[in-house]
Structure 1
Amino acid sequence: MIVAYLRGKNRNFSISFQQEYLISYALKKGIAIDFTEIDDDPFSTILEERSTLLSLLHSLKEGDRILVYDLWVISKKVGELTKVFDCILKNGVSVIIARQDVVIDDKTSLKTLVYLLSEQREQNLHAQHKVMGRPKGSFSKSKFDKYKSEILDMLEQHLSVSEIAKRLGVSRSSLKDYINSRSLKEIVDSKKIPQMTRTHTRQAPALSTECTLKNQKIQQKEH
């Protein structure tokens, strides 16, 4: 099974851009995307609290592949990337990085992994020097965050921004800015794009207990 994994909340690489790039890449490589997963967690969210990513990781089986536009889609933090790679490689899952046309699996050399992680670290350092104030690609909290689920539902119902603003009792222009900055329309539209599918009948065990990544929020509730 191949999962196209998209990351929201990036001003430079929207969800629709990532999806179009991955579909084009898949067609070029002759591979089939079984379904698409969208991670809308802020980039400030630590790995152990990213429920979308953790749920995906623990649902994967040996031989499954994750297709991403670039490494930062998984995480911008080198330490977190190391944890994810350790988790998936122990269980026979691979990652395809489309932009660099690189496959990370249990056959990938240490030299390649070090190069990829070093490149991500360099990108992080470059961004820190280039950006003043709030980190590029990040978002401050908004008064509309509490309405996010409702906004997504109404967008799926094809309601206009004006109608949504009227129902929520908020400014149309402010709501429009929020929807655009969070790529909410793209999130809704991406669900409507037909996926390239294939028959998947192989039975294999899910990720083993060797993958120690857990959702901290769930663990806290259990205790």
Structure 2
Amino acid sequence: MATNRFVGYLESRKNITGCAGGMVGLVLTFTGVAGPYWAVVVLGLYGAGALIAPPERPALPDFPDPSAQLDEIRADFAKLQTYLADVDLPPGTATRLRALTDILDALLDPGWVSEILAQDPEGVHAVSRAVRQDVPEAVDAFVRTRWWHRMTPGQEPPEQHLERQLAVLLEESESLAAGLRETEARRQESHTRYLEDRQQ
């Protein structure tokens, strides 16, 4: 640890700037300007250089870019689809779930749509949350509750809760898709105005 710090200081801006100041001190010594106080001059110029050097800037954390995040979400979405294929759902609920997964699939499909999505961090987070948390949790809760419902009939059917949850998630995904479509529409309008203004 101490060795790493020492090596880090040798490579630091403070040491390099201080060494440059010390070299100036040596030049002054050899030209006779420093006189008998040459050691004080060399050390003083080294210290002055080390003090005026800009501080070291820590490296920025290496976060994955949005397209890499989407690649990970795509892999998780494929796992989710495999899981959903094995779940037995009532026909109406299955239709609503298919509509939701179709939108998620379209948003994650590599191409210009996912490129627009990648520029929207909140949208990426919403899709990630739907794929990794909301949909699997809703379906798993339905599967577990359905078993208990068979043991204690007369309670509210678990598919009603699942349908309400899927309705909310479907509305969220449709809203996200509409927002991305609006972004593209505004971009197109801006380009039209730019071209028309160029003619004036």
Report TM bin, short chain.
Answer: under 0.3
Larger Rg: 2
TM-score (norm. length: structure 1)? 0.21
TM-score (norm. length: structure 2)? 0.22
Which gives a bigger RCO, structure 1 or 2 (Cα 8 Å, sep 6+)? 1
In terms of fraction of residues, the more strand-rich structure is 1
